[in-house]
Structure 1
Amino acid sequence: MAKAVKKQALGRGLSALLKDPENDISSASDKNADKVLGNIIELEIESIEINPFQPRTNFNEETLNELSISIKELGVIQPITVRKMDFNKYQLISGERRLRASKLAGLTSVPAYIRIANDQESLEMALVENIQRHDLDPIEIALSYQRLIDEINLTQEQMSERVGKKRSTITNYLRLLKLDPIIQTGMRDGFVSMGHGRAIINIEDKKVQLEIYEKIITNALSVRATELLVKNYQYNKSNPAAAPKSISAPVPDFAEKNIPKFSEYFSAKVDVKVDKKGKGKLIIPFHSDEDFERIKKLISGEL
């Protein structure tokens, strides 16, 4: 407890030092820079501006309120990171969610690490830090990777080293950006998963992508069913004479797992067909009049 009090007092002391114009720090070589850089300092929230390079755009209000309640009770456990802009002016590098929750909690100051960084370094730090989060949607991660390529000029190999991810993982995320924007939005909103997106991306035609996306939503298709749907389309496309032009839907999981039960009950190889609208049919074969009568009695409950 004594250590925590001492650390907090030190942070407030350094905060007072930074408010003295004679101690203004703009580079690592300035006087007292060694006392500030790398230490946790209490900064007034009103002196911190939001990072314009922040790759994250969605903040869940419910979880933000939960964090705010936690901060009211325990304080800000993990300091934010800022960069020095001007005298007593700072720009957020990472920790926007903590900063927002602190404002909701009514705090006037937050603990922060101060960095000296240019625009490019600030952007890279914000992007890399953002990618490490566990609550990002796949498109948000993909956009962060793309910005590291476009604005920082990193190769996929360099990104792999920066964020500790395999190059193949980075490639899979970047490919999601080839999806139709409507599908990307659906992924961000949680209507479909990254697995669905990875299956759909194997089709280049955006119109067909949307047709499949609609079937996923309408029929609550699993990733596996979506993969089968895509394979069916690709087969139809490469073998136009062997199948109808339209996309036929795969058998839903709930029906497929019950086919063996139907086959056992009717003592026949039962099949299921699903049309492009998602409506299905049970097909029960018969081989004679007697076999047809037997099946009819099973259906009517006479047997």
Structure 2
Amino acid sequence: MALAKKQAMGRGLSALLKDPENDIKSVSDKNADKVVGNIIELEIDAIEINPFQPRTNFNEESLQELATSIRELGVIQPITVRKMDFNKYQLISGERRLRASKIVGLKTVPAYIRLADDNESLTMALVENIQRHDLDPIEIALSYQRLMDEIQLTQEQVSDRVGKKRSTVANYMRLLKLDPIIQTGIRDGFISMGHGRAIINVDDHDAQTEIYQKIVSQNLSVRETEALVKAYHEGTPEKPTTIKTSGGAFEVDTEDKKTFNEYFGTKVDVKVAANGKGKITIPFHSEEDFNRIIKLIKG
């Protein structure tokens, strides 16, 4: 009932915001106390996506489920925006709710309005998303890095802002030292953050990717990965691992990988899952490079 009353008030306040004579730009402006921090029904077309949004992946199935919920119950939790120009707003948090509302076809959405500069907006967007959404480990690490680089926070200050131990923040940020192929593997769910934390103890990126390919092809656990890294540092020969599955999984030979790399003139990523299925990823760096690879494939 309380939420319904607030949203009813919000519909009245939305008319106030459309009056050019009440263009609120700071907390000292007339009627600012009626707008800032209140829930107001905003036209979706007046809201732009926050360029500081750390989330880059949105699960389509999850969005559809949220859209179904919004269609039946409405937007239960308002989004948060900051006022830009007259009747123009920028999203701070709640992009999933905004996207789902668009899927449903809503014209307006309940929103908290704040006045904030870019630094405040970035901090709020990063902190709120880290705390309230299921970002993958790499997205979280990038968010921490941006708080340090763009807001000039120390690791200690970041840990205070997000309510995490400094060691936790440090462990996430260390993932950014992994080879980009491995970072992508974590984001795509081929390996876990635990695997990544084990691999990061290897400085050489080529060695990292070889270990990563073994993890994926042999379906190694985190503990087995740690043993593999330890063997690498000690220079001891690896014991061959045989996987018995109906799919007939196998390990791609190092020489075969080199053949791919030499033929295509780039670092080719070969992944083999425990069931014997896999994929070959051939990266390219420009349209010209793409066309070069196409010509090689066509012969």
Distance in 2, Cα, partners of 1:157 & 1:41:
36
Task: Give the superposition deviation at 1:133.
Answer: 3.1
Which residue of the partner structure matches residue 51 of structure 1?
50
Which residue of the partner structure matches residue 207 of structure 1?
206
**Cα-to-partner distance string for 1:111-151 (whole Å, 9 max, x where unaligned):** 00000001111111111111113411100000000000110
Which residue of the partner structure matches residue 121 of structure 2?
122
Q: Normalising by structure 1, what TM-score?
A: 0.79
Contact 1:221/1:252 (CA < 8 Å) preserved in 2? Answer: no
Which residue of the partner structure matches residue 15 of structure 1?
14
Contact 2:218/2:243 (CA < 8 Å) preserved in 1? Answer: no
Which residue of the partner structure matches residue 78 of structure 1?
77
Which residue of the partner structure matches residue 162 of structure 1?
161
Query: In the alignment, residue 235 of structure 1 is paired with which amino acid?
Result: E
**SS of residue in 2 equivalent to 1:231:** helix
Task: Give the superposition deviation at 1:253.
Answer: 10
Matches for 1:143-222 after TM superposition, within 5 Å: 143-222=142-221
The percentage of aligned residue pairs carrying the same residue is: 76
**SS of residue in 1 equivalent to 2:190:** coil
**SS of residue in 2 equivalent to 1:7:** helix
Q: Structure 1's 32 and 234: CA in aligned 2 closer, same or farther, altered over 3 A? A: same
Query: In the alignment, residue 35 of structure 1 is paired with which amino acid?
Result: K
Distance in 2, Cα, partners of 1:195 & 1:174:
13
Matches for 1:21-36 after TM superposition, within 5 Å: 21-36=20-35
Paired residues in the alignment total 250
Distance in 1, Cα, partners of 2:60 & 2:185:
19
User: Structure 1: where are the runs of 5+ without partners?
Assistant: 237-242, 255-274, 279-303
Q: Structure 1's 178 and 250: CA in aligned 2 closer, same or farther, altered over 3 A? A: farther
Task: Give the superposition deviation at 1:6.
Answer: 2.5
Task: Give the superposition deviation at 1:8.
Answer: 2.0
Contact 1:138/1:187 (CA < 8 Å) preserved in 2? Answer: yes
Contact 1:229/1:250 (CA < 8 Å) preserved in 2? Answer: no
RMSD (Å) for aligned C-alpha atoms: 2.1
Which residue of the partner structure matches residue 273 of structure 2?
none
Contact 1:222/1:253 (CA < 8 Å) preserved in 2? Answer: no
Query: In the alignment, residue 117 of structure 1 is paired with which amino acid?
Result: A
Which residue of the partner structure matches residue 39 of structure 2?
40
Distance in 1, Cα, partners of 2:118 & 2:126:
12
Matches for 1:218-229 after TM superposition, within 5 Å: 218-229=217-228
Q: Structure 1's 215 and 229: CA in aligned 2 closer, same or farther, altered over 3 A? A: same
Distance in 1, Cα, partners of 2:252 & 2:46:
58
Q: Normalising by structure 2, what TM-score?
A: 0.80
User: Structure 2: where are the runs of 5+ without partners?
Assistant: 245-250, 255-299
Distance in 2, Cα, partners of 1:160 & 1:121:
17
**Cα-to-partner distance string for 1:232-256 (whole Å, 9 max, x where unaligned):** 11111xxxxxx44xxx1576899xx
